[in-house]
A = this chain, B = another copy of it.
Amino acid sequence: MVNQKATNVTRHEGDVSSADRRALLGQSGSTLWFTGLSGSGKSTIAVALESALMSQNKLSYRLDGDNVRLGINKNLGFSGADRAENIRRVGEIAKLFNEAGVITLASFISPYREDRNQVRRIHHEMGLAFVEIFVDCDLASAEKRDPKGLYKKARAGEIKNFTGIDDPYEAPDHPELHLVSDKMSLSDEVKIIIKYLEDHNLLS
């Protein structure tokens, strides 16, 4: 938990409502939170989903561990405290995008259950849709893929605190969606997510 440091702050309500945004965009804001091991396919799925949504004239935006770490979170490393702050900030940014009406795709290893649950809580406090998507992949398969060569470096001791090697991954207990990425096809994964959005009236 982070304590509120600044005082003398109050929340503003603008005149533009979430109903206005929904009518304009033909969708509700939502946060799709992809969690899983490095190399499990989180970003691959998010990229494919973003294209599929655009082809349906739906506005989405992708927040990505790598991109965010080159910008807002460039002053954070990979210690436990920095990882928690990384996820906290991304959760807050996703909440803002969601509130703006955007389908927000956040793909982050986010290995700790409590960090993810905190992101869920801040969404629910604001009545915003939060969809945890567990991108489930065998460590062996992820390590075999190793798209960025990171497992190799971690095994060689060049990267410390690497999730799955010398840092734990805590799988979600009750994710809204569970994709077994070393068994399912990419197009099926995208279809499952879009069906979820349709079934929950998030695309209308």
Contact = CB atoms under 8 A, between A and B. Distances in A.
Interface of A: 2-6, 8-12, 14-16, 20-21, 24-25, 43, 47, 50-51, 54, 57, 59-67, 69-78, 82, 85, 88-89, 92-93, 95-97, 99-102, 122, 148, 150, 153, 159
23 contacts: A3-B75, A4-B74, A6-B74, A6-B78, A8-B159, A9-B69, A9-B70, A10-B66, A11-B66, A12-B62, A16-B51, A20-B54, A24-B57, A24-B59, A25-B59, A59-B100, A61-B100, A63-B96, A71-B95, A72-B89, A72-B93, A97-B100, A100-B102
A74 B5 contact: yes
B100 A11 contact: no
B16 A76 contact: no
A122 B74 CA distance: 13
B6 A51 contact: no
- Copy number in the complex reads 2
A70 B15 contact: no
Contacts of A122: 71
B75 A92 contact: no
A16 to B, nearest CB: 5
A93 B102 CA distance: 14
B12 A47 contact: yes
Contacts of A69: 6, 9
